[in-house]
Amino acid sequence: MRSTLDPLAHYRRNDRSVLPKYFQVGKVVDAPEDFYSSRMLKKERKKTMVDEILHNEESLSKAKKKYAEIRQKEQTKRRGAFQRFVMKPEELELFVTPEEELRMQRSIEDAALKFADKFRPHIWPSVKWTALSFFKRAFLVWVPSDTSIRMVMMACFYLAMKIDEFYITIEDFVRNMNVGDPRQNAERILKLEPELMKCLNYNLTVHCPYRPFEGHLMDMKTRMLLLNFDLESIRRDSMRFFQHALQTDVLLLYPPSQIALAAINYGLHAQELDERRKAEWEAGGRIGQMPGAVTEQPVDSDDE
């Protein structure tokens, strides 16, 4: 034999996938085995490898250019296919904006607080806080167009009553609703309840600020005996602060203890303002600053 080299064995030891299929050296080499055979001189093999490298670089540049052209054509084709799904400015006006969605939620929250005030038997403040927390957390995931926002609020109240152990039957609950058929309302609320719990990821524990508020008041009463000030006088204004806080996003942003401290601060400032206005009124001062006071407007008269 002219060669002691086994080309197939050498070809197996090397990666066959990276070896070129043929080489150009002025003549066509039919198979990679011929490249390693003794019929080709060492000089010819070296020249073949250099030509193949140059040939690969040219082929690579041509392939990149061709790929870029194909990609551009595909992008143009897809853009034309999906052009009918692109919204125009006049079409976007038909959809609800985030500001309008927030306005819808605020209106439902205001109506829900009125519903809670008229509910019989009278519900605890913690139930309202828990229900509004569920509602706000649910619409971090949902949007008002997904479902009936009013029925979601009713489901939040019914679930909050269960969580706070304010026992009431579904029949008594829907009896307080003045809209819709009681039987249909009960079915929709019971159907929404498991979906609501799934949306909340079954995290149903809500810490309300009313208990920290009572704890802060007791601590202040114990430590501030010499102030000669009735801390119970700030309770009405602090409860008003909690009522206003239910219509904002502070439930999602701050812990209950800080909300309770803010309510005490609000009550103290409101009490101080009331005392100042009362003192001014008793002294016969600026009566016009009293709430509901009516002042006479000066009338200009032309002297002839």
CATH 1.10.472.10 residue spans of the chain? 98-199, 210-284
Gap between the Cα atoms of 299 and 115, Å rounded: 46
Q: Which two tokens stand for residue 191?
A: 């159907």
DSSP string, 87-99: PPHHHHTTSPPHH
Q: What is the pLDDT of residue 260?
A: 96
Domain 210-284: homologous superfamily in CATH: Cyclin-like (1.10.472.10)
Q: What is the pLDDT of residue 273?
A: 76
> Residue 96 CA to chain centroid, in angstroms?
17
pLDDT along the chain (304 residues), means of 10: 48 48 44 50 54 62 79 79 71 80 92 94 94 95 88 96 94 91 94 95 95 93 81 91 94 94 92 74 56 43 41
Q: What is the pLDDT of residue 49?
A: 54
CATH class given for the domain over 98-199: mainly alpha
Residue 268: C-alpha distances to residues 204, 250, 272 (Å): 33, 20, 6
